[in-house]
Amino acid sequence: CHQCPPGRQPRLVLSHMFQPQNLREDQVLSLEGRASELTCKSQRLMLQVGLILPASPGCYHLMPYTVRAMEKLVRVIDQEMQAIGGQKINMPSLSPAELWRATSRWDLMGRELLRLRDRHGKEYCLGPTHEEAVTALVASQKKLSYKQLPLLLYQVTRKFRDEPRPRFGLLRGREFYMKDMYTFDSSAEAAQETYGLVCDAYCRLFDRLGLRWLKARADVGSIGGTMSHEFQLQVDIGEDRLVVCPSCHFSANKEIQNLSQNICPDCQGPLTETKGIEVGHTFFLGTKYSSIFNAQFTNAHGDPTLAEMGCYGLGVTRILAAAIEVLSTEDCIRWPSLLAPYQVCLIPPKKGSKEAAAAEIVEHLYDDITEAVAQLQGEVLLDDRTHLTIGNRLKDANKLGYPFVIIAGRKALEDPARFEVWCQNTGEVVFLTKEGVMELL
Ligand code: ATP
Ligand code: MG
Ligand code: MG
Ligand code: MG
């Protein structure tokens, strides 16, 4: 367009974004339609800046900034899953009832399962998880050889659960994104090894996001199996009760059976209690599902053998909201650096102000940053709402949590021009020349 220099990518400007800004608390409440359900900080903040908009109870529209953050999260997940040999697939959400009847979960899952019928009267559910589907898929491959194992299949898809109490925004939805991985091994020992491999990948993932996690011993619940761990973030609004050993770092979900309430089983030291939100869950399944669907491979002697399985969930949308819950202040969203929807927000001066002449300097800065710093292509946003004061736009930028906010004020007209740079993750504010800005970024 005429505003963009020839041969350059168009500049990203805030005024074109489909992104409501700064909704008042009462507007947010009326969006949710259920005042009493505005139950946590991440939900309130995400609604206020229009990261999510309610569609129906427990279902949200994910707005452009959120989709960007989620795509970044999925990229990190892909890296970690593929680094351990994961292969990405995508299974249908519509899951035939007969699969669920085979494992008895059609009844066991009760009302959490969203059920429907097609025009022929055939029954389905909307997949809340995919153990049945993936095991039937693997079982359909009759020529699987032990040489192809371990087989690690995963997907990132929408899951559906008719939660009794959907709340806390994206933390507990009725429709949400999950990364679910399913592993197939030739022996229980090999499957244990794979279990450790995936758990380690989860630890790395949460470390990269800068989130402090706990790996807690957990109950196997309706999924079944013989061993299970939950990855938990410590948050006040967490719905899980955990016990933690301060001396040896043992931790467990309180709901597991036969857990003494005050003796650490590993070091016998005293346990303390805390609350957590479950962001990931791993299960060692053994042959529970492979025996039902006959998921076999041929072993080294040419004999058919049942696969030893594991399954591993990560709450993708829950991680986004949980990260915001733990990192943000009461008024300002903070993201894990890797996930911030945009890395840099540039604020040119107000139209008609004394500094208005610096507008062009900011546009050059925009072009230079995106040209020189390859990683920042598509990551720099120009807040072109120049009818607003710098102060008002800085407030919005602060709230949205761009890692870097760069302002052209009075000093941008000096020679050399200097910009006010807010580094949100360190809380520093510095004045830098264009070269200084480039170096910092
Ligand atoms: P919760 O105990 O919170 O109900 P769950 O144990 O039922 O979770 P799993 O079946 O273990 O959940 O699913 C794997 C992951 O999916 C969970 O660790 C969580 O991160 C995510 N998840 C589960 N339910 C929801 C939901 N309603 N909304 C968003 N994410 C969810
Ligand atoms: Mg649940
Ligand atoms: Mg749970
Ligand atoms: Mg769980």
Instruction: Give, to the nearest 10 degrees, the angle between helix 25-32 and helix 41-48.
Output: 100
Task: State in Å, rounded, how far the first CA of the chain is from the last one.
Answer: 27
Spatial separation of the C-alpha atoms in residues 166 and 40, rounded to whole Å: 13
Does 179 sit in the ligand 1 pocket, CB within 6 Å? no
Output the residue whose Cα is nearest ligand 1's atom 11.
281
> Which pTM was predicted?
0.95
DSSP 67-122: HHHHHHHHHHHHHHHHHTT-EE----SEEEHHHHHHTTHHHHTGGGSEEEE-TT--
Cα 138 to averaged position of ligand 1 atoms, centre (Å): 24
Which residues pair with residue 145 across a beta bridge? 298
**Cβ proximity of 424 and 404 under 8 Å:** yes
Please report how many Cα atoms fall inside a 13 Å half-sphere around the Cα of residue 51, on the Cβ side: 30
Average pLDDT over residues 96-109: 97
Length of the chain in residues, anyone? 441
Check residue 130 and give left, alpha or beta (phi > 0: left; psi -120 to 50: alpha): alpha
Least Cα distance to 312 among 252, 255, 214, 231 occurs for 231
Substitution site in 131, 198, 282, 318 for ligand 1 pocket (most atoms within 8 Å of beta carbon): 318
Spatial separation of the C-alpha atoms in residues 234 and 322, rounded to whole Å: 10
Substitution site in 52, 278, 311, 320 for ligand 1 pocket (most atoms within 8 Å of beta carbon): 278
Spatial separation of the C-alpha atoms in residues 271 and 265, rounded to whole Å: 10
Check residue 146 and give left, alpha or beta (phi > 0: left; psi -120 to 50: alpha): alpha
Output the residue whose Cα is nearest ligand 1's atom 3.
278
Sign of the Cα pseudo-torsion (285, 288, 290, 296, in order): positive
> Among 119-128, 131-140, 148-157, 256-265, which stretch is predicted with the lowest mean pLDDT?
256-265
Which atom of ligand 1 is found nearest the CA of 221? 6
Average pLDDT over residues 361-376: 91
Task: Compute the CA torsion angle 94, 97, 101, 104 (nearest 10 deg).
Answer: 50
Cα 150 to averaged position of ligand 3 atoms, centre (Å): 27
Average pLDDT over residues 158-186: 96
Output the residue whose Cα is nearest ligand 1's atom 28.
172
pLDDT of residue 143: 87
What is the pLDDT of the chain when averaged over all its residues? 93
Output the residue whose Cα is nearest ligand 1's atom 24.
172
- Percent of the residues in the chain that have a pLDDT greater than 90, as a whole number: 81
Average pLDDT over residues 152-165: 97
Instruction: Tell me what ipTM this predicted complex has.
Output: 0.99
Ligand in nearest proximity to the CA of 231: 1
* Structure tokens given for 252: 């467990």
**Cβ proximity of 174 and 162 under 8 Å:** yes
DSSP 3-44: TSPTTSPPPEEGGGS-------HHHHHHHHS-GGG--SHHHH
Which atom of ligand 1 is found nearest the CA of 280? 18
Average pLDDT over residues 286-298: 97
Which atom of ligand 1 is found nearest the CA of 313? 14
Does 50 sit in the ligand 1 pocket, CB within 6 Å? no
Q: Which of 33-42, 132-141, 246-255, 419-428 has the highest mean pLDDT?
A: 132-141
Does 173 sit in the ligand 1 pocket, CB within 6 Å? yes
Higher-confidence residue of 33 and 281: namely 281
Ligand in nearest proximity to the CA of 129: 1
For the beta carbon of residue 58, count every other beta carbon within 10 angstroms: 21
Does 318 sit in the ligand 1 pocket, CB within 6 Å? yes
**Cβ proximity of 280 and 312 under 8 Å:** yes
Instruction: Give, to the nearest 10 degrees, the angle between helix 316-327 and helix 64-83.
Output: 110
Spatial separation of the C-alpha atoms in residues 266 and 40, rounded to whole Å: 35
Does 277 sit in the ligand 1 pocket, CB within 6 Å? no
Q: What is the pLDDT of residues 239-280, one digit of tens each?
A: 999 999 999 989 999 988 777 767 898 899 999 999 999 999
Instruction: Give, to the nearest 10 degrees, the angle between helix 188-208 and helix 64-83.
Output: 140
Q: Which residues contact 24 (CB under 8 A, 6 or more apart)?
A: none
> Among 8-22, 99-113, 405-419, 427-441, which stretch is predicted with the lowest mean pLDDT?
8-22
Average pLDDT over residues 160-171: 94
Output the residue whose Cα is nearest ligand 1's atom 23.
315
pLDDT of residue 233: 98
Give yes or no for residue 151 having a pLDDT over 80: yes
pLDDT of residue 146: 96
Q: Kindly state the DSSP code that residue 212 receives in the 8-state scheme.
A: -
Residue 203 three-state SS = helix
Give yes or no for residue 1 having a pLDDT over 60: no
Phi, psi of 12 (to 5 degrees): -85, 120
Tokens 């499957």, located at residue: 191
Tokens 């999510």, located at residue: 52
CA distances from residue 263 to 215, 253, 272 in whole angstroms, order as listed: 18, 14, 10
Does 315 sit in the ligand 1 pocket, CB within 6 Å? yes
Spatial separation of the C-alpha atoms in residues 73 and 210, rounded to whole Å: 13
Q: What is the pLDDT of residues 326-355, one digit of tens each?
A: 999 999 999 999 999 999 999 999 999 998
> Among 6-10, 33-37, 382-386, 395-399, which stretch is predicted with the lowest mean pLDDT?
33-37
Q: What is the pLDDT of residues 2-58, one digit of tens each?
A: 555 666 678 999 999 998 777 777 777 777 765 456 679 999 999 999 999 999 999
Output the residue whose Cα is nearest ligand 1's atom 22.
315
Cα 284 to averaged position of ligand 3 atoms, centre (Å): 15
Q: What is the pLDDT of residues 178-214, one digit of tens each?
A: 999 999 999 999 999 999 999 999 999 999 999 999 9
Spatial separation of the C-alpha atoms in residues 312 and 200, rounded to whole Å: 12
Give yes or no for residue 308 having a pLDDT over 60: yes
- Percent of the residues in the chain that have a pLDDT greater than 70, as a whole number: 96
pLDDT of residue 244: 94
Does 276 sit in the ligand 1 pocket, CB within 6 Å? no
Give yes or no for residue 390 having a pLDDT over 90: yes
**Cβ proximity of 91 and 157 under 8 Å:** yes
Cα 46 to averaged position of ligand 4 atoms, centre (Å): 24
Cα 315 to averaged position of ligand 1 atoms, centre (Å): 6
Is omega for the bond preceding 150 within 30 degrees of 0, making it cis?
A: yes
Cα 165 to averaged position of ligand 2 atoms, centre (Å): 10
Give yes or no for residue 225 having a pLDDT over 80: no
Which atom of ligand 1 is found nearest the CA of 166? 27
CA distances from residue 422 to 328, 364, 369, 404 in whole angstroms, order as listed: 16, 19, 16, 6
Phi, psi of 200 (to 5 degrees): -60, -40
